[in-house]
Amino acid sequence: MQRRVFASQAQESFLEGHAEAFRVLGGVPTKHIRYDNLKPAVRQVCTGRNRVESERWTTFRSHYGFDAFYCSPGAEGAHEKGGVEQEGGRFRRAHLVPVPDVPSLEELNSRIALIDEAEDERVLRGKLTSIGFNFHIEAEELAPLPTEDFECGITLTPKVDRTSRITVRQCHYSVPARFIGERVRVLLRGNELLVFERRNIVAWHPRLTKRYGYRDVLDHYLEILLVKPGAMAGSTALAAARAEGSFTAIHEAFWAAALKAHGDAAGTRALIEVLLLHRRMPAEAVQVGMSAAVKAGSISPDVVAIEARKAESAARDPELQDDEDDPPPWADIPGGQLLTLPTRRPELPEDNRPPPSVDFYDQLLTRHPKGSA
């Protein structure tokens, strides 16, 4: 049995769970799969075994080529579920109590995948062989997977409001500020939300489940904050960046040094210009550049960019890395400050030419009476 955890019980999660299970099993059951009368699959329960299925569920089943067997509602169909609910309770009590403390659903699902692999060695009561051994025998009965994957998410086209957010299922997500007032293409999946510009992904968010919840990304507002730097300190995007750890201690140190050196507005703009470097350089390289600039006492985005490029090149080619015992280049400079030397101009030869005559222009200063020739 394969288990996965999703942020919601939406139909997208229901379909993705099937697709992931088929991928792990390496095939699709050829007879049928038993289901309760859950809403992501069944729109209406008719007499007997007849059901009116949802359109996307019918399309999904047609893509993978399997049949669905729906249990009878109520107590009449309780014996038809084959102990699925009992197995779910056993797994939860054995492996999810107490509740695991994980930073994300991806980490939780990774742990559960390892538990599933270990469960293959478990021997059920009254059996002589393990679960994994029994599945290996039955795996030959599975139908092959289709050549193309089925996109389980749904496509939406919300409009970006003046706060640079879109509203999807009563939750709010930020997008780059250049899309304000436009409609964007959104792919909503079980655990994530993707925003596209043509074929390029311009924003990614984990799916929110709490009504009226919001998630802001600081990078989406940098162009606005560059014009209005005073809004930086109290922005929700900055608070979110600090909470998730993307706005690190070195960012705080660089910002504090920039405010002290250049004042509130200019110092914040210097920080924002450094944050823009994250779009084209690795975060580790930019942090190395900020650290070098702070140590050198030169709070300049240009210095950060130069040091970040050096760190990025050293990461690609280890031979370019400096020896840790070597002092930094600014160590011998008095006060640890970077000095800007004046440009030395070459000496020009002495000019012995006579000055030009201005007699021709003197006639412009002479006034002639009216009517005179």
Q: Is residue 81 located within the same domain as residue 116? A: yes
Q: Is residue 287 located within the same domain as residue 262? A: yes
Last residue of a domain, one of 276, 293, 322: 322
Asked if residue 15 lies in contact with residue 146, where contact means CB atoms within 8 angstroms, the answer is no
Answer yes or no: is 176 within a domain: yes
- Per-residue pLDDT of 105-148, as tens digits, reads 899 999 999 999 898 898 888 888 998 898 888 888 899 999 99
DSSP character at residue 191: S
- Per-residue pLDDT of 30-42, as tens digits, reads 988 989 889 999 9
Asked if residue 306 lies in contact with residue 289, where contact means CB atoms within 8 angstroms, the answer is yes
Answer yes or no: is 6 within a domain: no
Answer yes or no: is 368 within a domain: no
Provide mean pLDDT across the span 176-191: 96
In 110-153 the beta strands, taken as DSSP E runs, fall at none
Residue 366: pLDDT above 80?
no
Answer yes or no: is 335 within a domain: no
Answer yes or no: is 45 within a domain: yes
Last residue of a domain, one of 281, 306, 322: 322
In the chain the beta strands, taken as DSSP E runs, fall at 33-35, 42-45, 51-53, 68-70, 154-156, 165-168, 171-174, 185-188, 192-197, 200-206, 214-215
| Helices and strands per DSSP (H, E), number in the chain | 12, 11
Q: Round to whole Å and give the CA distance between 238 and 226.
A: 14
Q: Is residue 200 located within the same domain as residue 230? A: no
Residue 9 token pair: 């019980």
Q: Is residue 79 located within the same domain as residue 175? A: no
Report the chain's mean pLDDT, rounded to a whole number.
Answer: 87
Residue 330: pLDDT above 50?
no
Give me the number of domains the chain comprises: 3
Q: Is residue 230 located within the same domain as residue 209? A: no
pLDDT band at 75 (very low <50, low <70, confident <90, very high): confident
Q: Is residue 45 located within the same domain as residue 135? A: yes
Q: What is the pLDDT of residue 73?
A: 85
What would the DSSP string read from start to end of 219-264? GGGHHHHHH-GGGSTT-HHHHHHHHHTSS-HHHHHHHHHHHHHH-H
Q: What is the pLDDT of residue 115?
A: 92
Residue 329: pLDDT above 90?
no
Q: What is the pLDDT of residue 355?
A: 82
Answer yes or no: is 344 within a domain: no
Q: What is the pLDDT of residue 316?
A: 79
Q: Round to whole Å and give the CA distance between 118 and 100.
A: 18
Q: What is the pLDDT of residue 191?
A: 93
Last residue of a domain, one of 141, 162, 181: 141
Q: Is residue 230 located within the same domain as residue 310? A: yes
Q: What is the pLDDT of residue 372?
A: 57
Answer yes or no: is 85 within a domain: yes
- Per-residue pLDDT of 201-238, as tens digits, reads 999 999 999 999 999 999 999 999 999 999 999 999 99
pLDDT band at 14 (very low <50, low <70, confident <90, very high): very high
Provide mean pLDDT across the span 47-69: 93
Answer yes or no: is 327 within a domain: no
pLDDT band at 315 (very low <50, low <70, confident <90, very high): confident
Provide mean pLDDT across the span 322-343: 53
pLDDT band at 346 (very low <50, low <70, confident <90, very high): low
User: What percent of the chain is predicted at pLDDT more than 70?
Assistant: 89
Q: Which domain holds residue 35?
A: 11-141
Provide mean pLDDT across the span 43-60: 92
